A and B are shown apart, each in its own frame.
Chain A
Amino acid sequence: MSEHAEVSTQDKGSFGLYSLGFFLSVVLTLAAYFLVQGYLRSGGTAFTRDFLIGAIVGLAVLQFFVQIFFFLHLGRETKPRWKLLVLFFMILVILILVLGSLWIMSNLNYRMTPQQINQYMQNQDGGI
């Protein structure tokens, strides 16, 4: 019994923290859901689409941090914070990967004339 306590004294949550994290996650999920439903019901006139996308992505990022903190207990690590360091590196890689892909692809779209795109599509069709 004492060994259990020994193995797991640091880096752990409590019932209160898990419940708070769960509550916040549900609130954030429902907020994003009703924002989109409101937008659809108003026929897209309640606010602009850019605002809607920005808001729901913002809510998702917020929920990401809520779950990282309350469920994964990050930020309460003891001194050499390797997990946090690896997390930051992962976020960096993801940003380069996702934003880079979107940038390159939209740039390609921009540089192709509609005629070139049609030509390309026809050549593709010939192959099927």
Chain B
Amino acid sequence: MSELAETAVLHEERRHSDDKTMFGFWTYIMTDCVLFASLFATYAVLHNNTFGGPSGRTLFSLPYVLVETLALLTSSFTCGLAVLAAQRGFKKQVLFWFALTALLGLVFLGMELHEFHDFVAQGASWRRSGFLSAFFTLVGTHGAHITAGLIWMITMMTQVARRGLTRGTLRRLQLLGLFWHFLDIVWIFIFTIVYLQGVSL
């Protein structure tokens, strides 16, 4: 009887510490939002300062960015399904959904790098104007987060493949899911404020 009670207490303590980790990570994500907010503010202040260089209207291709956006949105969805499968203990499904998520993330990152390369080749690099400096800083910072997320995802896939769905890997998978959803939410605002607004100026 007392043994049962002890395990119950142990479970309760573990759940509590997992909740604490989740909350700590959530707080980190919120502070990261403040970082993005300051970059958004910089972009909003500088977006008209093209210094005679190209503006968003001439640079951005909306259909291209829409495909990029849908790739990231779908990856956020498949990432959610991966975490869901992890909570239910389906190891193969976890690996499948995360592989799909990583693939879509790579598509997104590849398209973004291709776009950057295109701009620089047209002479619209970050050195051209205040607008382009702010653009590359904001979108580039998001891209750096995506890169970090992809590295983390590949690490987690190896961990799950090797160790299976233990309490530790499950907790880290949930944090990764949180991080990936957050990156998609930031992208909604980049899509709206930088691209959609940029072409309609």
Q: How many residues of B contact A (CB 8 A)?
A: 51
Inside 8 A of B88's CB, which chain A residues have their CB? 4
B interface majority secondary structure: helix
Residue on A nearest B12 in the bound complex, by CB? A6
Residue on B nearest A90 in the bound complex, by CB? B30
- The answer to whether A86 and B89 touch across the interface, beta carbons within 8 angstroms, is no
Contact of A49 among B18, B45, B77, B200 (CB under 8 A): B200
B75, chain A: closest CB distance, angstroms: 11
Q: How many contacting A-B pairs (Cβ < 8 A)?
A: 129
- The answer to whether A13 and B84 touch across the interface, beta carbons within 8 angstroms, is yes
Residue interface mask B1-43, A partner, CB < 8 A = 1: 0000000000100110010000100110011011001101110
Chain B CB within 8 A of A37 CB: yes
The interface size bin for chain A is: 35 or more
Binds A, one of B117-125, B146-154, B183-191: B183-191
How far apart sit A30 and B152, CA to CA, in the bound complex (Å)? 30
For window 25-67 of chain A, which residues contact chain B by CB distance below 8 Å? 25-26, 29, 32-33, 36-37, 39-40, 44, 49, 52-53, 56-57, 59-60, 63-64, 67
How far apart sit A7 and B169, CA to CA, in the bound complex (Å)? 12
Contact of A33 among B14, B66, B80 (CB under 8 A): B66
- The answer to whether A64 and B188 touch across the interface, beta carbons within 8 angstroms, is yes
Contact of B87 among A4, A25, A37 (CB under 8 A): A4
Inside 8 A of B23's CB, which chain A residues have their CB? 82-83
Asked whether A83 and B26 contact (CB < 8 A) given A22-B77, A26-B73, A67-B181, the answer is yes
Asked whether A87 and B30 contact (CB < 8 A) given A60-B192, A97-B41, A102-B41, the answer is yes
- The answer to whether A98 and B84 touch across the interface, beta carbons within 8 angstroms, is no
Of A1, A22, A52, the most chain B CB neighbours within 10 A belong to A22
For window 173-195 of chain B, which residues contact chain A by CB distance below 8 Å? 174, 178, 181-182, 184-185, 188-189, 191-193
B: residues with CB less than 8 A from A are 11, 14-15, 18, 23, 26-27, 30-31, 33-34, 37-38, 40-42, 44-45, 62, 66, 69-70, 73-74, 76-77, 80-81, 84, 87-89, 165, 167, 170-171, 174, 178, 181-182, 184-185, 188-189, 191-193, 196-197, 199-200
A: residues with CB less than 8 A from B are 1, 3-8, 12-15, 18-19, 21-22, 25-26, 29, 32-33, 36-37, 39-40, 44, 49, 52-53, 56-57, 59-60, 63-64, 67-68, 71-72, 82-83, 86-87, 89-90, 93-94, 97-98, 101-102, 105
Which 9 A-B pairs rank lowest in CB-CB distance, beginning with the nearest?
A101-B41, A60-B192, A22-B77, A90-B30, A94-B37, A8-B87, A71-B181, A18-B80, A4-B89
Give me 6 other A-B pairs in contact (C-beta within 8 A), A71-B76, A94-B37, A98-B40 excluded: A13-B84, A15-B81, A32-B196, A39-B200, A49-B200, A86-B27
